[in-house]
Structure 1
Amino acid sequence: MLETLLTPETVQVRQAGNLDWEEAIRQAATPLLTAGKVEQKYVDAMIAVVKKNGPFINIGPHIALAHARPEDGVNHMGMALMKVNPAINLVSAEHPITLFFVLAASDNTTHLQALQELATKLQNSESLNKIEQATTVEELVTEFKGVEE
């Protein structure tokens, strides 16, 4: 399922420049917004949740999984990834992020397979190393192809 979600259209690689974490989430979600999978209010909700609850979306070293509730503006399930260099602090310097995943879950269950595949990929040290070392969209997309379920 990941290979159908994380495609050249939904994966970005960019220099962090002067992006802050809020703008990084907005930029990471742009492909989903452009494709009509989410509405602007969903992007705003993802940011509001972090402002309210802190950096709980930091799911591993340098990895964030931004998300909100399906009813906050998800039209169709989707996922996007933006890799940045250098890391952007998520709320504070204790949470430097280079991989901003955005999950748009259309209900409470459909996305679970994609999350399981993502967890499997990120827990594999060889795969994670390839993702961390990738410098192009093509390298990242290739790494998410053929994920074992």
Structure 2
Amino acid sequence: MALNLAEELSSITTRATAADWRAAVRLAGDGLVAGGVTTDAYTDEMIAAVEAHGPYIVIAPGIALAHARPAESVLKGGLSWVSLETPVEFGHSSNDPVSLVIGLAAIDHTAHIEVLKAVAGVLSDKEARAKLEAATSDDEVRAILSSLAVK
């Protein structure tokens, strides 16, 4: 059975403002915390991962998948969604600037891979991606993702 990303989203923020990549990742982390998915420590772990390993989380043009390893700071699996009003640079050679940051928290490696597959599937659909990028509300993002889950 396909994973329904709309059901996994604990928080959606559209047209957010971030001064830099750290602020953008923090917004995604704040969404995970607000949804009861992680503690604040997980947000710090996501930022530390990029500081240590570079902008590997920028997985496609304009898209960052902010995450860290499964840890005690993850209370349950979930996602946050942050579209940025003005894209920010993460330092990626070909996929900058980023206008969408998806926060990912998984309780184990298997769940992590399943969510990655689901996100990749949705974002590789050009029509769906265009609709998601144009969405201006939580309800609109959820409706688009829900419609994709039934395909």
User: Where on the TM-score scale, by shorter chain, does this alignment land: which range?
Assistant: 0.7 to 0.9
Give distance in 2, aligned partners of 1:35 and 1:139.
18
Unaligned segments of structure 2, at least 5 residues: none
Q: After superposition, what is the alpha-carbon deviation per residue over 1:87-141, rounded to whole angstroms, capped at 9, x for unaligned?
A: 0111468621110000001111124333222111111111011112222222211
TM-score (norm 1): 0.88
Deviates more, 1:54-63 or 1:116-125: 116-125
Deviates more, 1:88-97 or 1:78-87: 88-97
- Give the superposed CA RMSD: 2.0
Shift of 1:48: 0.6
CA contact (8 A) 1:117 1:148 kept: no
TM-score (norm 2): 0.87
Unaligned segments of structure 1, at least 5 residues: none
Give distance in 1, aligned partners of 2:16 and 2:79.
20
Q: After superposition, what is the alpha-carbon deviation per residue over 1:23-82, rounded to whole angstroms, capped at 9, x for unaligned?
A: 111112212212331111111010011011111000111000000011161110010000
CA contact (8 A) 2:29 2:42 kept: no
Give distance in 2, aligned partners of 1:124 and 1:71.
31
Instruction: Classify the secondary structure of the residue corresponding to 2:71.
Output: helix
Give distance in 1, aligned partners of 2:74 and 2:118.
21
CA contact (8 A) 2:28 2:102 kept: yes
Matched-pair identity in %: 33
Give distance in 2, aligned partners of 1:64 and 1:92.
10
Equivalent residue number for residue 27 of structure 1: 27
Relative to structure 1, the CA distance from residue 35 to residue 131 in structure 2 (aligned partners, 3 Å threshold; closer, same or farther) is closer
Give distance in 2, aligned partners of 1:119 and 1:93.
20
1:114 equivalenced with 2:95 (yes/no): no
- Whichever residue aligns with residue 101 of structure 2, its letter is F
Give distance in 1, aligned partners of 2:35 and 2:134.
28
Tell me which stretches of 4 or more aligned residues in structure 1 moved more than 4 Å.
Answer: none
Instruction: Classify the secondary structure of the residue corresponding to 1:36.
Output: coil
